[in-house]
Amino acid sequence: MNRNKNAFFNGIRDGFPIALGYFAVAFSLGIVAKKAGLNPFQGFLSSMLNHASAGEYAEFTVIIANAPYLEMAFVILVTNIRYMLMSCALSQKFDSGTSLFHRLLVGFGITDEIFGISIGRPGALNPYYNYGAMAIALPGWSLGTALGIVAGNILPASLVSALSVALYGMFVAIITPVSKNNKIVGGVVIISFFASFLVSRISLFAQMSDSMKISLLTVLIAGLAAFFFPVKEEADET
Amino acid sequence: MTHNIYLYILVAAFVSCLIRVLPLTLIRGKIKNPFIRSFLYYVPYVTLAVMTFPAIVTAPRIPLAGILALIAGIAAAWKGMNMIGIAVLCCAVVFICETAAAYIL
């Protein structure tokens, strides 16, 4: 029991800087949420349940587009599919005897950063470490979103305009280091930029919602990349 | 037809929870299929790239500010700056560009 308590407090300690960062970025996500017509409570709820920067951004574009619920399911599946890979990796990190309850709860709490710190722990993963990190990081993320929705009104237009790129800055921070070290990923990223730009310009696709464009381009480009440049075993866990 | 925001949130939450929980509860061994492994490996980078561009250019009031923010963000990430630092840097670039433009124009 004492070990679990220790792990929980270690999780809180490591989750604290994550929570601070989340708060700032979620604030800019709240600005998008407001555009989609969410009130602060809805933003809080969405961030508490979904807690994914890219996934929630996509979620709000679906709401803005007033697209069908099925499209929402598809868009979330595609934008959050990386969590599936993280979930696979974490399953290797558990003791085989870990109960279903712990597997469900740890799975629910997977984010890029929580995955990052938990995969870096030595030895088998203690679920209470994740609970500690979740207990501080997820409320930080959710409160940030809610406050972004509230303060979107108060802030001057110049600040809102500046904050609107924070999320993209975060995305750039995720893709650039990997592109730097892996030429194929770098090429795939450049092709994705180019394809996305083309699709945004071609009138043929004008009827299609942004979220649908994102999903289709992802399945197409990642599928082609996987076909032509299969990943070797070790290169998988980044 | 208008949709209910709570239903949207619940659909999103349900799917993302399923994605996160299923492999952890079901798959105990390693995924063997090289195509699926590779596909899953590339997906996050493609999704993030497609979402970033050209949206980062159209989000601020002045498109040039967005382009400069993108370049600054990539350069800073290349040099190893952390995620939050890069997010702040991109915001600062847009803010400075737009403030400067307001004086010049």
What is the pLDDT tens value at each position of chain A, 238 positions in all? 688 999 999 888 878 777 877 777 788 889 889 888 889 999 999 999 988 878 888 888 888 888 889 988 988 888 887 788 778 777 877 887 888 899 999 999 988 778 877 876 778 889 999 999 999 989 989 998 999 898 877 777 788 788 778 878 888 988 899 899 999 999 999 999 999 999 999 888 877 767 678 778 988 999 999 999 998 765 444 4
Does B49 touch chain A if contact means CB atoms closer than 8 Å?
yes
**Rounded to whole angstroms, what are the CA distances from B97 to A67, B72, B87?**
35, 12, 16
Q: Which pair of structure tokens corresponds to residue A183? A: 């030429």
pLDDT value at residue A236: 44
Does B71 touch chain A if contact means CB atoms closer than 8 Å?
no
Does A198 touch chain B if contact means CB atoms closer than 8 Å?
no
Average pLDDT (B51-79) is: 93
pLDDT value at residue A238: 42
pLDDT greater at residue B14 or residue B27: B14
Interface contact B80-A72, CB threshold 8 A: no
Asked whether A171 and B51 are in contact (CB, 8 A), the reply is yes
Residue-wise pLDDT for B37-46, tens only, equals 788 788 878 8
Each domain of chain B, given as residue ranges in start order, spans 5-104
Dist CA B88 CA A28 (whole Å): 11
Task: State the burial class of residue A202 (Cβ atoms within 10 Å of its Cβ: 0-12, 13-18, 19+).
Answer: exposed
**Rounded to whole angstroms, what are the CA distances from A83 to A79, A192, A214?**
9, 20, 17
Dist CA A119 CA B70 (whole Å): 30
Contacts of B73 in chain A (CB under 8 A): 168-169, 172-173, 176
| CB nearest to B98's CB, from A42, A57, A158 | A158
User: Per this entry, what is the length of chain B?
Assistant: 105
Alpha helices in B27-62 (DSSP H): 34-52, 55-58
pLDDT value at residue A204: 81
Whose CA is closest to B62, among A154, A34, A165, A171?
A: A165
Q: Which residue, among B3, B9, B71, B93, would best test binding to A if mutated, counting the most A CBs under 10 Å from its CB? A: B9
Q: Please give the distance of CA B64 from its chain centroid, rounded to a whole number.
A: 20
Look up the pTM and report it.
Answer: 0.72
**Rounded to whole angstroms, what are the CA distances from B99 to A164, B64, B96?**
15, 13, 5
pLDDT value at residue A189: 96
Q: Is residue B47 over pLDDT 90?
A: no
Whose CA is closest to A148, among A212, A11, A56, A213?
A: A56
Asked whether A149 and B71 are in contact (CB, 8 A), the reply is no
pLDDT value at residue A134: 93
Dihedral angle computed from the Cα positions of residues A171, A175, A176 and A179, in that order, rounded to the nearest 10 degrees: -170
Asked whether A24 and A144 are in contact (CB, 8 A), the reply is yes
Residue-wise pLDDT for A103-132, tens only, equals 999 999 988 778 877 876 778 889 999 999
Interface contact B16-A55, CB threshold 8 A: yes
| Amino acid residing at A27 | F
pLDDT value at residue A108: 93
A96 DSSP assignment: T
Does A110 touch chain B if contact means CB atoms closer than 8 Å?
yes
pLDDT value at residue A49: 92
